[in-house]
Amino acid sequence: MNAPEYLPLPDTQSLPDGRELPIERVGVKGLRYPVAIRQADGEVQHTVAEFGMYVGLAHDVKGTHMSRFVEILEERRQPLDLAGLRAMHERMLSRLGAVTGRLELHFPYFVRKAAPVSAVESLLDYDARWTIETTADGRTRLAIELVAAVTSLCPCSKKIADYGAHNQRSHITVRVEVATGELSLEELARIAEEEASSELYGLLKRSDEKFVTERAYDNPKFVEDLVRDIALRLRRDPRIGVFRVASENFESIHNHSAYAEIVGAGAARI
């Protein structure tokens, strides 16, 4: 039996458009897909990312080809690192015939940590985001972002109290544009955690709890201290261009958060 013959189907998206209005960003948003991420140590971590994939559309073209974004994710490829992200972005622009575009993925990322005294190991989760965008001026910017949960202890409370001091969990967001070389999510996590009153762990024994509690008490930080100390570290890094550091402290003695944010530039100064 002969296979049925099909007439060519019209390509409606490629029809001309007479409204003379370019679109800065068109594509798919909220697309969840499994992805393999190459860690700083070369190992591979499997996670699920939420993708946003967009291109610019010329004023005289009716629409973009939405299916091609998903086709790009379906291509066989090596685990993603920053070099792989750049390559995927270039394929997206080429596949869609676009000059400008933006590719972003937001995913949970896990780091294995050893407790400070017992050395028992456990995983700790972070919110991570990679973004790469090519703009109309021809520049391509790549940024990585991490949200790290830490402990902060109030210097004022420690100063005025006869004993004890209130502390809280803080969410530190660090976003940096990578100007040159490679910069890992693990590095951003370490910078945020080292500048906190104390870092968090997935699993602690009693000896570890004693250590982190006393560590926080000996290292009090206002929300302003957190963002300033991290910003000073980022400013010295020659790989970093523009950066943003924010901290939200979920207060334990108030029904609101304390917040601070700094925007600056690293040594690369994009």
Of 4-18, 100-114, 252-266, which range is least confident? 4-18
Q: Find the helix packing angle between 223-235 and 185-194, rounded to 10°.
A: 130
Name the DSSP class of 13: G
Asked if residue 14 belongs to a domain, the reply is: no
For residue 63, name the pLDDT band (cuts at 50, 70, 90).
confident
Q: Is the pLDDT of residue 160 over 70?
A: yes
Please give the pLDDT value at position 19: 80
Asked if residue 2 belongs to a domain, the reply is: no
Name the DSSP class of 61: B
Asked if residue 30 belongs to a domain, the reply is: yes
Alpha-carbon distance of 215 to 161, in angstroms, equals 18
Contacts made by residues 78-84, CB under 8 angstroms, sequence distance 24+:
78/38, 79/36, 79/37, 79/38, 79/44, 80/35, 80/36, 80/37, 80/38, 81/37, 81/38, 81/182, 82/130, 82/142, 82/144, 82/178, 82/182, 82/183, 83/182, 84/38
Q: Work out the average pLDDT over 146-165.
A: 93
Asked if residue 15 belongs to a domain, the reply is: no
Tokens of 221: 């930080």
Q: Is the pLDDT of residue 180 over 90?
A: no
Asked if residue 4 belongs to a domain, the reply is: no
Q: Is the pLDDT of residue 31 over 90?
A: yes
Q: Which residue has the higher pLDDT, 102 or 5?
A: 102
Q: What is the CATH number of the domain that holds 182?
A: 3.10.270.10
Alpha-carbon distance of 249 to 153, in angstroms, equals 10
How many angstroms separate the Cα of 99 from the Cα of each of 26, 66, 67? 13, 16, 18
Closest CA to 31 of 82, 66, 80: 66
Name the DSSP class of 239: T
Q: Work out the average pLDDT over 216-230.
A: 95
Name the DSSP class of 135: -
Asked if residue 47 belongs to a domain, the reply is: yes
Q: Which residue has the higher pLDDT, 67 or 245?
A: 245
E strands, 101-166, in order:
101-114, 121-134, 140-153
Please give the pLDDT value at position 268: 77
Please give the pLDDT value at position 258: 94
Please give the pLDDT value at position 192: 97
Q: Work out the average pLDDT over 81-105.
A: 95
Asked if residue 5 belongs to a domain, the reply is: no
Q: Find the helix packing angle between 82-96 and 67-74, rounded to 10°.
A: 140
Q: Which residue has the higher pLDDT, 203 or 5?
A: 203
Which domain does 184 fall in, by range?
22-265
Alpha-carbon distance of 175 to 129, in angstroms, equals 9
How many angstroms separate the Cα of 50 from the Cα of each of 40, 108, 167, 183? 21, 10, 33, 21
Asked if residue 58 belongs to a domain, the reply is: yes
For residue 83, name the pLDDT band (cuts at 50, 70, 90).
very high
Name the DSSP class of 67: H
Closest CA to 101 of 144, 73, 132, 65: 132
Please give the pLDDT value at position 50: 97
Q: Is the pLDDT of residue 270 over 60?
A: no
Q: Is the pLDDT of residue 248 over 90?
A: yes
- Give the total number of structural domains in the chain: 1
Q: Work out the average pLDDT over 47-74.
A: 91
Closest CA to 262 of 196, 187, 191, 176: 176
